[in-house]
A and B are shown apart, each in its own frame.
Chain A
Amino acid sequence: GENVEQHPSTLSVQEGDSAVIKCTYSDSASNYFPWYKQELGKRPQLIIDIRSNVGEKKDQRIAVTLNKTAKHFSLHITETQPEDSAVYFCAASILTGGGNKLTFGTGTQLKVEL
């Protein structure tokens, strides 16, 4: 089955700096890659996603890049703010008509310091 690895496990940045989180996946059939943000004790919330037919997607301060050949994708957050502090999870999935179970990475604890 699919295996997703995520690095780093913790990341501390100064407010205003950029943060980059990287993930690799094992199943070349995976074609959908969402990123979720989870604050302590809260539900995971989708912040951005990318499908395998594009290499990059951007939404304001957040961007995701995908390298299908190397089977890795990354989350980029620019101009970080204290409210960006949370755990971020990458995930991979194969979109089918029978549902798309997500395989998650182990998470990155991002801390944005003032």
Chain B
Amino acid sequence: GAGVSQSPRYKVAKRGQDVALRCDPISGHVSLFWYQQALGQGPEFLTYFQNEAQLDKSGLPSDRFFAERPEGSVSTLKIQRTQQEDSAVYLCASSPGTSRETQYFGPGTRLLVL
């Protein structure tokens, strides 16, 4: 079946612009995670959704970052007033339930802020 998809795959933004990154999880997956991967580093946790509820947003680096999953399926990560340090790959992952541990990752969105 279809895996996790993300769009756009690449995004170039001027500093100060707002961006929206989309994640389509595997159909029926309850859990959805966002991670940020800087160049040459491992992914770092940003936020977690269980269905439409955002249960953990402890990894969001500032109040410029906002995520939502209003209908419990597609999720959007929004970054306001982008800064150069926001340049990274943003990965989305989903898993079937709340206790099933395997996370399936999307291909990521590579964001470059100039």
Contact = CB atoms under 8 A, between A and B. Distances in A.
A45 B104 CA distance: 7
Given A43-B107, A44-B105, A98 B56 contact: yes
Nearest to A91: B42
Contacts of A89: 42-43
Contacts, number: 68
Interface residues of B, number: 27
Interface residues of A, number: 28
Contacts of B102: 34, 46, 49
Most buried by B among A6, A95, A102: A102
A48 to B, nearest CB: 11
B96 to A, nearest CB: 12
A105 B42 contact: yes
A105 B98 CA distance: 23
B69 to A, nearest CB: 13
Interface string A91-114: 101011111111111110000000
Given A101-B45, A101-B56, A102-B33, 18 more contacts: A42-B107, A45-B105, A49-B101, A93-B101, A95-B99, A95-B101, A98-B56, A98-B98, A99-B50, A99-B56, A99-B98, A100-B101, A101-B33, A102-B43, A102-B45, A102-B103, A105-B42, A106-B41
Interface of B: 4, 31, 33, 35, 40-45, 48, 50, 55-56, 59, 91, 95, 98-99, 101-108
